[in-house]
Structure 1
Amino acid sequence: MQTPPPQPAPTAPVATTRLPLAARLLLLILAVAVPPLVGLGLAMMNVNEGALLHSARELHLSIALDVRRALREELERARQQSAAIGYLMLAPDVGTQEEREKLADSQLAFSTSLDFVSFYSLEGERLGTLKARGVAEPDTPATLPTALLTEVPEQGLRVLGLTMAGELPSLRVLQRASVEGKPLAYLLTHVRLKPLVDQLQVLSTEWDGLEEGVYVVDAERRVVLHPTRSRLGASLAESDFFAAIGREVSFHSDFVAASDFEAEMPMFGALVTVPEVGWAIVVQRSQPLTFKTLRDMRLSVGLALGLCALVALVGAWLGARQLSRPIQALVRATRSIAARSFTQVEGEVETRADELGHLGRSLGEMARSLESSEKELVEQTRVRTALSRYLSADVVELIAREPGRLRLGGERREVTVLFSDVCGFTRLSESLPPETVVALLNELFTFATEIIHRRGGIIDKFIGDSVMAVWGTPESHPDDARQAVEAAMELRRWVETGNRRWRQKWGVEIQLAMGLHTGTVVAGNLGSEKRMEYTVIGDAVNVAARLESMAQPGQILVSAATRERLGEEAEVLRHLGERALHGRNATTQVFEVAA
């Protein structure tokens, strides 16, 4: 009989080795923490790149605006100096002719902008020339065209063009010479632009990449000012920068632009116009120089993120056994807070007696505090946004700071009230469709609101085609009356500008009649507990309204009370005498704001 073969012994099960908690935590962090860190790093790089682009734009525009400010200061300095010389030579009570000439020569000797001043009669005939010592006889015309004389503003310069005084550029300008407001002659002079050229030279040497990148061009895009003389006269009309911002841009209007463009290399440029001269300041620099810090920033962010990841891995390895679950709970809580979901820490973390318990409780308190703060902030923002549509920023801020002011009632305050009304509005409404009338009024009220708020006033109400504005409440200032008068003058100037647009768009023009008065009123909330408005009540409001109804189109009438508070600024007013206001027994001294 055969012996059966032996059966193989059963094999023992292979033991599966589980990864230690530290290794698992490391893998978990690699899988969960690293991708968000990378995403955060990329987001930080993108944010910093956008911030760098914004700062580069602001830097280039700031350089251009500095050059424009320097040019305007040089023109204003020249205007003041030539006006002083004109006054010395023309004023009847200055002294003898010899004394006048000595004073005028002294002015020219110390002038940093002028070498000579030529005097012309009101008919354009040259009367003579006063020049500094050592200066050659200037080449000035014997007569000036009448058409040119009519273009000279009452206050300011009429720029005639650029001329070269040797190696240095000068600007030929013409202005009126007046004594006690009466024009007596015209002054022709050349304004030296050497300080401006020196500033361009400083900019080209102090800023990396601006060696040839800051220059001034005229309306034909020819270079008129540049640190390098060989660049003067060069035409930039076909340059890539003007192609990027638009070749039809007018330099006789305010215009600011910044753009990147392609030339021989990627470039970044900015432009600011000087409307009174018809010039523009251009600043351009290569993009590699503009954004040269971006590469270093990306490397630094990458290294910082790598270091953070390494520290996280080491910390996870050391505390894996006891920290895995509470840490995960804390991480989830912090991520929720970062996502603005203010939930509490999961599990029993807040009940632990160790540091993690303290951290969990602190994190929970922080979440609750942040949630409460966010709700309060959202509510305040909502209230402020809603109120700002109806009230000025000062009134909104006052209500937010002192909610008790919302109750009915008021307080006595001295204020300046302005009424502004569109003249002939009934006739205008008859001749235009209602949609056009509404669009015109909305545009007018938008700019009126901007002007009044910028001058520190508040819009009390719109009454049809009228505006009522108040200065001195809820906060008062020493110059409230002056700000109110200047707001009225600025509104009148703006309407003159707006008429050109409305004439082209709708074929109409408007004029405003305005009245201002200063007096004591009661300022506060009027109405009911459910519906109230912040307004002022008193006789001062009636006086201002009567002055406005008395004013002619384009006229600004001011009471004596407002004139008393203007102080030195009262010289802009012209006395019209005593007037009887409708509905009042006593007469009122009335003044008109000069045009």
Structure 2
Amino acid sequence: MRLLLLMLAVAVPPLVGLGLVMMNVNADALRLAARELHLAIAGDVRRTLRGELERAQQELDGVGYLLLAPGLGSGEERDALVASKLTASAAIDFVTLYSPQGERLGTLKEKELPLPAVPEMLPTSVLQAHPESQQGLQVLDVVMKNGVPSLRVVQRARKDGATQALLLTHLRLEPLLEQLRTLGEDRLGSRNAISVVNDARQVVLHADPARIGTSRKEHGIFMAVAGDASFRSPFGVSPEFNDDGEPMVGALETLPELGWAVVVQRPRALAYASLGWMRTGVGVALAICAVVALAGALLGARQLARPIEALVRATRDIAGRRFTRVEGGVEERQDELGHLGRSLGEMARSLESSEKELVEQTRVRTALSRYLSSDVVELIAREPERLRLGGERREVTVLFSDVCGFTRLSESLPPETVVALLNELFTFATEIIHRRGGIIDKFIGDSVMAVWGTPESKPDDARQAVEAAMELRRWVETGNRRWRQKWGVEVQLAMGLHTGTVVAGNLGSEKRMEYTVIGDTVNVAARLESMAQPGQILVSAATREKLGPDAEVLRHLGERALHGRNATTSVFEVAA
């Protein structure tokens, strides 16, 4: 029963969660697609309307040119040219000329077209709204003729920078209305889904001419975008709103140059119709998956429960570091559980062997680290073949550090105190040297010999050795405060460093050996240490060359003769 519940708990919630996530993702995608569709349709209508206005402007510019351009013949010839142009035009079929003061001068039209009804005088508001400096088309209003809407527009005809006449015409809107009808039916499912309104929220363009001129001020989409928002500002929105209690979705994009807006709307149920089918399909799929999971759990529970419990106990034993055999005959099974049981058994035996080996290696490394540096211990563990007598030539930097006045210190303190002080000093010296990448070669009474460059070398071995010496000197100054309070003594170190070639390797016998370095480099470093005063760090010229830009911390002390050597050595002191 527990296995059954576990399988149901594992199988069903993820499926339900996945279904909910899929529905939410698809719902969001559907809403986003609907918004993008509405905005795209509004944009198409807006671009088409602007294109019609631009075409009308170009044709009126052409009429103005024919009327005013020099060298085109007499007035009758010019009128004939204009009439021919109007006959070929798909947007306009007449032009009425007005003087710059707004008086009607006459009308040019197609021969078969009756004289259109136009005002004798342009209103003052039209003249004032169309100053001399303005270029382009001025839209006045929408007029109805035989139930067909047209757009009344005015264009200024100019010559030599001055207005010579005003051209008034009616722009035919049949192509635009047909586009509104087609887009609404084909892409939105309703021929009445698209309209164009002015700043007063009155319909100026609609697929149904009977709706032109009606007020939409209380329409839901205008309330959703703030009812008093001006269409003279460019913006576009795609809100969800209620219209007469019916949930709707749509879009609104403005034409700031006209103070108009394109409105697209349709019922939310129509826009999101596929969402209901999707939810039903996901629900059915979830139910089927739950039933299949339940059936599978019921059929397999008995066959799986016992071996799984045995495997669980085995894994718990392994986690508790008890490497036992898998119980219940699981390893004898020939199915996947049997393979898993045998694998767990092999793993337990391998882990038991590995743990024993690891414990032994840890014990050996811990013991070795008390006598050798961690680098040497790692080298021996990684390359056991290096545990043989002999060595190799390497360039290293050797540091000798000695406690000044140690004999006097030993005479004034009990031996136990001397040992405790040296152990404390050597503990921190070891920490500093190891942190700086060096190894402790040996402790010689109250002295420490450290080496950089073996068993592994680094480009900055000399710099690390000098910085280790400086850090050790600073630490002794801190330690002296404690030693004065505890034992009433102070310690000063003398240190010497030299860089050169040595033989690094194992020295001794097959039964007892130690890893060390041998060569004249070691002797020079020891002589520099013996020459140093308390608290002084002496460095050879060879080490100074390795420091590069860091050599500025050194002060040249001149040529010095080292004990036991014929040639003099250039000696430098590390600044305090």
With normalisation by structure 1, the TM-score equals 0.47
Asked which structure has the greater CA Rg, the reply is: 2
